[in-house]
Amino acid sequence: MPVREIYAGETAPLQFNVWNTDGVTKKSGLVQPGNFTVSVWHDGAVDAVVAAAVLAAILEIGTSGAYKSAFAPGTGTGYWRIEIVNTWSTDVMGEAFEVRAVRTLGVG
């Protein structure tokens, strides 16, 4: 799984689709609370506070079957792993982040 790099204090958008059982059409109408669970790990330890924030931010984009949320690590640098499970089909959307303390200018 690729690791996305962001910086402390930034917010990273999360977007994912939920598919119907036919595997072709998207599943619209899932809501929070009730249709999703979120787990977040920071350097291998569970972070329930950030998980609750990601869970609370889950919204459907219109009625498209595409959903969005956001990850904001605050000042917590290091390796972060996020898993969002939709309880309708038990599909898992995972993202990994390396959060750095200072933004540096690249060369080139």
User: For the chain (length 108 residues), average pLDDT per consecutive 10?
Assistant: 87 92 92 89 92 91 94 90 90 92 66
Q: For residue 84, what pLDDT is reported?
A: 92
Instruction: Report how many domains make up the chain.
Output: 1
Distance CA 44, CA 78 (A): 10
* Range of the structural domain that residue 7 is part of: 3-100
Q: What is the CATH number of the domain that holds 72?
A: 2.60.40.10
Asked if residue 107 is part of any domain, the answer here is no
Asked if residue 34 is part of any domain, the answer here is yes
Find out whether 71 and 11 touch, Cβ atoms under 8 Å.
yes
Asked if residue 25 is part of any domain, the answer here is yes
Asked if residue 105 is part of any domain, the answer here is no
Distance CA 49, CA 2 (A): 24
